[in-house]
Amino acid sequence: MPHPINILEQYWNHTSFRPRQEAIINSVLEDNDTFVLLPTGGGKSICFQIPALIKDGICIVISPLVALMKDQVNTLKSKGIKAMAITSGIKYSELDTLLDNCIYGNYKFLYLSPERLQQDIVKQRIAQMHVNLIAVDEAHCISQWGNDFRPAYKNIIALRQLHPSVNVIALTATAKPKVIEETIQELDFIAPKIFKASFTRPNIAYQVLQSEDKIYDLERQLKTHKGSSIIYVRSRKMSIDIHNILEKKGFSSTFFHGGIPTKDKQERLYQWMHNQKEIMVATTAFGMGIDKPDVKTVIHINLPESLESYYQEAGRAGRNNEDAFAILLTNSSDEHVLKNQFINSLPSIEDIKLVYRKLCNYFQISYGEGELTTHRFNFSDFCKAYDFKSSKTFNTLQLLDRNSIIKLSQQFNYKTKLQFIISNNALFSYLKTHTQYNTIVKTILRTYGGIFEHQLAINITLISDKASTNEKQVIAILNQLQKDGIVDFLFSNTDSEVIFFQPREDDKTINRIANVIEQQQELKRFQVNSILDYVNNTSVCKNRQLLNYFGEITDEDCDKCSVCDSENSSEEPISYKTIQQQLILALEKAPLSSRVLVEQLPYKKENILKVLKLLLEHDIITMTSANTYKIKHT
């Protein structure tokens, strides 16, 4: 049997393990059931990949994240290791072949979603495999009090029944003590070996900064903490907008979200990973499975939905153990936005029953039918058809997905395609008399090489962004170009799929999961309140607050977070009355913005903003339409 360090050197080109990795690997090799809690960046995947490579047979890896499965499989393949991922959307005949390959093809890793364990064919074939290890990634999903609980994780117990002598390794980056206990119980561990790293990241300064002008403060932070950065935003549109603003200001940036074509994702990730682009503006899905050690700063423009999410995202900074910064910009409107998005839009059980019933009607599924059927899905059309509010409906569909009633996925199988079917010269002759199409046509030509020779998949959103117009206008022009015989245009108005995991039983289907949903919603309220407590608590060290949340009690301050930094400040204590007098003197001369006031007055920004808020509340000053403050004359 080769030594783990030899496998590490052979496939990963490293000569030493990170803390705890070798002890965890040895525990697995000794056939122990093993629970691993390593904070983000701790190198969890190696803890099951190396023992699986050492042992004869195949390792079954359960993961809820399709993107992460694909990334790990591609990484293993690049090292010459045979691995596959069976995700949704695979036809039965293809599934049959893939599972046979795992039995007879010397594969070392099979990645599955937990929902796949509901299929008889999958269980039958796994029973025939020489399984050497069962790895459960994101293991906290099996606990009803874990972040992102997925009832389908309870199907994993079937693997233990199929291979009772095979040990299990459960891995997670965020789990509170109650979640760890429940996870070990649900996975039927016997005499488990438990490895828990501290949640503390001593090189990261956690900073919560009040900001009435987030773009201005973002710019200041990027100039102060120069180096590789991630800026997390809540929406795809915001990722593009922030990127454009930063580029205009001379920063080297790119952006990343789920709707970008795979080729563009790979290119942008490469640019950022190799420091060709310094800043990545991304939605919160970005970063899973990506290990970039030199990230200097992680900045959140919007409040995250939970401390679990925040800790994981912030933890992508400083993996090289050098000083790093996790900065959260917040203002008075954020609490309302967060509650509106994640609390006020939580559906009731009756809402869920209605949406599920209408979803079945939308696809004309009869009572008792529909199990394992796949349907193309246009979310916007569905909401319009039944006059549903989009935010609450989307949350409902996510709940149905998480509870294994349906699978809502963006497959990107249904692509919008385009080809110019006349010559280059003929096209430009046409544009001379149709000048209104110039911008969009030239944008397409500069974005997609070879579009005269081949029918290419195009991104309507990308074209509309580059041409500074809207998607509706792009589609209308392309339709007209097709009528005029200029292009061959195949438009697909959806890239989503819905798979029904259960036969339609209307209210009975939802009644079975009602208690679980209510518990999930209670947990969501707790998580939102916890992030708000974290943001608003200005008296306890931010690092201590995070550690205490995860059950790691400490009295030691970090001496570098926004709270400690404020307490350690050498600035002479100044009364709010003094700041108030200086503010009024400044505003009597002319209306001024908070940015100008902060630059003019020799006091801390947070103190100035606090006094401005008090002056507004006491009706001494008012806001103008230009977002400046002025004295309110009676």
Q: What is the CATH number of the domain that holds 599?
A: 1.10.10
User: Comparing C-alpha atoms, which of 340, 41, 283, 306 is closest to residue 147?
Assistant: 306
How many angstroms separate the CA atoms of 134 and 126, rounded?
11
User: Comparing C-alpha atoms, which of 111, 589, 72 is closest to residue 290?
Assistant: 72
Question: Does 535 fall in a domain?
Answer: no
- Say if residues 547 and 553 touch (Cβ distance below 8 Å): yes
Domain's final residue, options 137, 168, 196: 196
Q: How large is the average pLDDT for residues 361-380? A: 90
Residue 324 shares a structural domain with residue 353: no
Question: Does 532 fall in a domain?
Answer: no
Domain's final residue, options 163, 196, 229: 196
Residue 218 shares a structural domain with residue 344: no
Q: Write the pLDDT tens digit of every residue in 149-181.
A: 888 898 899 999 999 999 999 999 888 899 999
Which CATH number is 403's domain given? 1.10.10.10
Domain count, the chain: 5
pLDDT at 614 (0 to 100): 86
Q: How large is the average pLDDT for residues 431-451? A: 91
Residue 113 shares a structural domain with residue 14: yes
Counts of helices then strands in the chain (DSSP H, E) = 27, 21
Residue 291 shares a structural domain with residue 363: no
Q: Write the pLDDT tens digit of every residue in 535-566.
A: 999 999 999 999 999 989 888 999 999 999 87
Of the pLDDT bands very low, low, confident and very high (cuts 50, 70, 90), residue 103 is very high
Question: Does 534 fall in a domain?
Answer: no
Residue 475 shares a structural domain with residue 598: no
Residue 438 shares a structural domain with residue 370: no
Q: Is pLDDT larger for residue 530 or for residue 258?
A: 530
Alpha helix (H) ranges present in 349-506?
349-362, 379-386, 390-402, 424-433, 438-447, 460-466, 471-483
Across-strand partners of 297? 229, 325
Question: Does 270 fall in a domain?
Answer: yes
pLDDT at 471 (0 to 100): 83
Residue 78 shares a structural domain with residue 123: yes
pLDDT at 410 (0 to 100): 61
Domain's final residue, options 196, 217, 236: 196
Question: Does 531 fall in a domain?
Answer: no
- Say if residues 29 and 54 touch (Cβ distance below 8 Å): yes
Question: Does 533 fall in a domain?
Answer: no
Residue 400 shares a structural domain with residue 252: no
Residue 381 shares a structural domain with residue 513: yes
Question: Does 518 fall in a domain?
Answer: yes
Residue 57 shares a structural domain with residue 134: yes
Residue-range definition of the domain harbouring residue 364: 340-412+496-525
Of the pLDDT bands very low, low, confident and very high (cuts 50, 70, 90), residue 412 is very low
Of the pLDDT bands very low, low, confident and very high (cuts 50, 70, 90), residue 574 is low
Q: Write the pLDDT tens digit of every residue in 22-81.
A: 999 999 999 999 999 998 777 899 999 999 999 999 999 999 887 788 889 999 999 999
Question: Does 209 fall in a domain?
Answer: yes
pLDDT > 90: percent of the chain: 56
pTM (two decimals): 0.75
Q: Write the pLDDT tens digit of every residue in 270-281.
A: 999 999 999 999
Residue 177 shares a structural domain with residue 63: yes
Find the range with the poorest average confidence among 501-505, 563-567, 612-616.
Answer: 563-567
Residue 362 shares a structural domain with residue 234: no
- Say if residues 462 and 415 touch (Cβ distance below 8 Å): no
Here the tokens at position 490 are 């195949």
